[in-house]
Amino acid sequence: MAAVLNPQVMVVGAGPAGMSAALAAADCGVKVLLVDFFSQPGGQLVKQTHKFFGSRGQYAGVRGIEIARILGEKVRSHPHIEMLLDTQVLGYYPDGVLTMERSVDGDSEYLKARPRRLVVCAGASEKPLAFPGNDLPGVYGAGAVQTLMNVHGVMPGRRAVMVGAGNIGLIISYQLRQAGVEVAAVVEAAPVIGGYAVHASKIRRLGIPILTSHSVKEAHGERELEAVTVWRVDERWQGIPGTERRFEADVLCLAVGLSPLAELLWQAGCRMAYVPELGGHVPWHDEHQQTSVPGIFVAGDAAGVEEASSAMVAGRIAGLAAAASLGACPRYRELAGEARAQLEALRAGPPGEKIRRGLTRLEEVGRRVRAG
Amino acid sequence: MFGPDDASAAGVAAAGRGDTVAGTVAPAGAASGQLRRTGLPAVEDLARVIPPQEVRRRGPVAVFECFERIPCDPCYWSCKRGAVKPFGDINDLPEVDWERCNGCGLCVAACPGLAIFVVHEGYTDTTSLIKLPYEFLPLPEVGQVVGALDREGTRVGEARVVRVQKPREKVGTPVVWIEVERDLAHVVRNIAVAGGERGE
């Protein structure tokens, strides 16, 4: 029977939010267990070869892969952080015990932990899109294509069609071209480009067309993807017959949004709310990133899908708050206040409008939580 | 802003060619409808960031093709001459002090959006110089003649590579200096290098 680990703070997920949470708590002197299912820390940062926006405090101008390296080194060398990699958290039990499966040399071992505080930074998963032929080999989530290229150095194909002109779709189109893959078109069902204009202009200069008010009608191929038919969509996002265009392609990349990975929070009984602006079901949380279950905190995409810059700041708040709740962060008000000011600045502009709307809706849920 | 005798007025108009819809002029600080639909800046977007004629002809100067309020300020920190005015709000659009900018190009390499170009209109009697960010391999060689591409990636002429600034660290953004036909100063924004295109 595996022994039970008893960290003061356990952080699930070693992405930008989780590493920031672990470092903030550990800097307060508490013992932190940081767990991630991947073989290296960084989360999505390990494949993000673009330079970050934001300000200096959030590594603006630095590429995601470099931020992963910098934070990873800090986490590894911190005397108060123990990191368990290749370790998948399986479940949360009513007695506050989390179970984990850790891969060791092709075998696996079973572990348990009962932390005094839990910070969930599990990230998000890609949303699928339904259309005939979406099960053909060659149809990928955009994240998978980015992992193939930027983590494993594998070209996903020769010619791609990208679905979605949010930042992920635009950035990965650029990276496909850097890898030597032709991009036939980016299609976007909305009437305007969702991602930053600078990312859109970058790929237009490469000669890649962006077709707004367009979506995938069908993917074609016998054994694998050979072509994609797209068509114009109306205001109700219904395809318009007669507007079809066919592109030869062996890669179809779906970048149509992310859903928070909140299963552990459901299991723990956290009050959840469906907030489309934040990506789907998200845990209610207060300004300390604490959920409705005292002692359980959340940050990053698991708390609502947003940029990695704000994930790092929210993670820091969660780590500080977890430490403060153990009496280990005497400067909490000041430090968390500074971080909250950064977070508000990052969310203050037009791109933050959706997040602000989502957080307002979440706040309404909070009022009902307190009332009930 | 641009007189009829202005050599690059034509270039600016060509740069913004596209379907600018009459009556959709965006409010200050907001990107045009064309930019949001197509990723191509409209004439009115460019008119806000292209410096006055006397500045453009005096020597190299930075043109910030940054039209949308997003939380981002590395250009401010990159400038050693204080030519990027301080940001009140990190979402503000950058503002360049033309009197302080000497076109050094540090901001070109620093901008996460690859949205800054340095332009010297009238580099010679017949040519203009453009410094642009280029994150593809192979990097061109000095003296090499490459394709000159506009904002839609369409080939509009040839460019001669004047200099290639490789970043100190491998992860930085290289800056390529090219010489183009004089009137293409505000049209050319990318290059096509023979031998393929692989990420830097």
A-chain residues near B65 (CB < 8 A): 198, 201
Check residues B24 and A125 and name the one with the higher pLDDT. Answer: A125
Percentage of chain B modeled with pLDDT above 90:
76
Predicted pLDDT of residue A365: 79
Contact B39 A65 (CB under 8 A): no
Are residue A45 and residue A152 in the same domain, yes or no? no
Residue pairs spanning A and B at CB distance below 8 A = 142
Query: Among candidates A214, A213, A238, which has minimal Cα distance to A228?
Result: A214
Residues on chain A touching B39 (C-beta within 8 angstroms): 193, 197, 200-201, 203-204, 210
CB contact under 8 A, B115 and A198: yes
Confidence (pLDDT) at B34: 95
Q: Residue A370 contacts by C-beta under 8 Å, 6 or more apart in sequence?
A: none
Model confidence at A79: pLDDT above 80: yes
Domain co-membership, A118 together with A264:
yes
Q: pLDDT confidence of A151, banded at 50, 70, 90?
A: very high
**What local confidence, expressed as pLDDT, does residue B195 receive?**
65
Q: Can you give the pLDDT at residue B98?
A: 93
pLDDT at A370: 67
- Cβ of A178 within 8 Å of Cβ of B200? The answer is yes
A154 vs B: CB within 8 A: no
Confirm or reject contact between A180 and chain B (CB < 8 A): yes
Whether the per-residue pLDDT at B60 is higher than 70: the answer is yes
The answer to whether residues A49 and A67 belong to one domain is yes
Q: Which residue of B has its CA nearest to A353?
A: B70
pLDDT at A335: 98
Q: Are residues A303 and A217 in the same domain?
A: no
In angstroms, what separates the C-alpha of A193 from chain B's closest C-alpha? 6
CA distance linking residue A309 with residue A304, whole number of Å: 13
What confidence tens digit (pLDDT) does each residue in A275-306 have?
Answer: 999 999 999 999 999 999 999 999 999 999 99
* Residue B50, SS3 per DSSP: coil
In tens, the pLDDT along B84-93 reads 999 999 999 9
pLDDT of residue B8: 42
For residue A198, the chain B residue with the least C-alpha distance is: B113
State residue A366's pLDDT score: 76
Tell me, yes or no, whether A362 and A275 share the same domain: yes
Same domain, A61 and A158: no
Q: What is the pLDDT of residue B29?
A: 59
Q: How far apart are the C-alpha atoms of A368 and A292, rounded to whole Å?
A: 11
- Model confidence at B150, pLDDT cuts 50, 70, 90, reads very high
List of long-range contacts for B191-194, beta carbons under 8 Å, 24+ apart = B191/B132, B191/B134, B191/B140, B191/B146, B191/B147, B191/B148, B191/B149, B191/B159, B191/B161, B192/B146, B192/B147, B192/B149, B192/B155, B193/B136, B193/B138, B193/B139, B193/B140, B193/B144, B193/B146, B193/B147, B194/B146
Window from A173-187, B64-78, B184-198 with minimum mean pLDDT: B184-198
Mutate to test the interface with A, among B21, B32, B35, B38 (most CBs of A within 10 A): B38
Q: Could you tell me the residue range of the domain that residue A230 belongs to?
A: 128-254
Q: Does B154 touch chain A (CB under 8 A)?
A: yes
Contact yes or no for B190 and A49 at CB 8 A: no
Shared domain for A87 and A144, answered yes or no, is: no
**What is the β-pairing status of strands B175-181 and B155-165?**
antiparallel
Query: For residue B57, how many other CB atoms are within 10 A of its CB?
Result: 15
Mean pLDDT of chain B: 86
Could you tell me if A298 and A235 lie in one domain?
no
**Chain A touched by B177 (CB under 8 Å):** no
Pick A349's closest partner by Cβ from B66, B71, B198: B71
Q: What is the CATH number of the domain that holds A112?
A: 3.50.50.60
User: How many domains is chain A partitioned into structurally?
Assistant: 2
Q: What is the pLDDT of residue B169?
A: 82
CB-based contact (8 Å) between A155 and chain B?
A: no
Evaluate if residue A371 carries a pLDDT over 70: no
Q: Would the CB atoms of B152 and A346 count as touching at under 8 Å?
A: no
For B200, the closest chain A residue by CA position comes to A178
CB B74 to CB A60 under 8 A? yes
- From A254, A277, A306, the end of a domain falls on A254
- Does residue B156 belong to the interface with chain A, where contact is any CB pair within 8 Å? no
State ipTM: 0.91
Residue with tokens 């540090």: B106
Closest partner residue to A61 (CB to CB) among B66, B74, B190 is B74
Note the pLDDT of residue B2.
36
- pLDDT for residue A322 is more than 90: yes
* pLDDT mean over A79-83: 98
Same domain, yes or no: A156 and A97:
no
Domain boundary (A212, A229, A254) is at A254
Residue ending a domain, choose from A196, A231, A254: A254
- Choose from B17, B63, B68 for mutation: most chain A CBs within 10 A: B68
Q: For residue A273, is pLDDT > 60?
A: yes
What are A114-143's pLDDT values in tens digits?
999 999 999 999 999 999 999 999 999 999
Q: Rounded distance, CA A308 to CA A285, Å?
A: 18
Interval A26-41 mean pLDDT: 97
Mean pLDDT of chain A: 96
pLDDT attached to residue A3: 82
Check whether residue A11 and residue A32 sit in a common domain.
Answer: yes
Tell me: do A150 and A241 sit in the same domain: yes
Q: Are residues A293 and A200 in the same domain?
A: no
pLDDT value of residue B11: 45
> CA of A361 to nearest chain B CA: how many angstroms apart?
23
Q: Which site among B72, B155, B190 would you substitute to test the A interface, given the most A Cβ atoms closer than 10 Å to its Cβ?
A: B72
End-to-end CA distance of chain A: 41
**B148 forms bridges with which residues in the sheet?**
B157, B191
Q: Looking at the predicted structure, is the pLDDT value of residue B22 above 60?
A: no
Name the pLDDT band for B9 (thresholds 50, 70, 90). very low
CB within 8 Å of chain A, chain B residues 89-148: 89-91, 110-115, 135-136
- pLDDT > 90: percent of chain A: 94
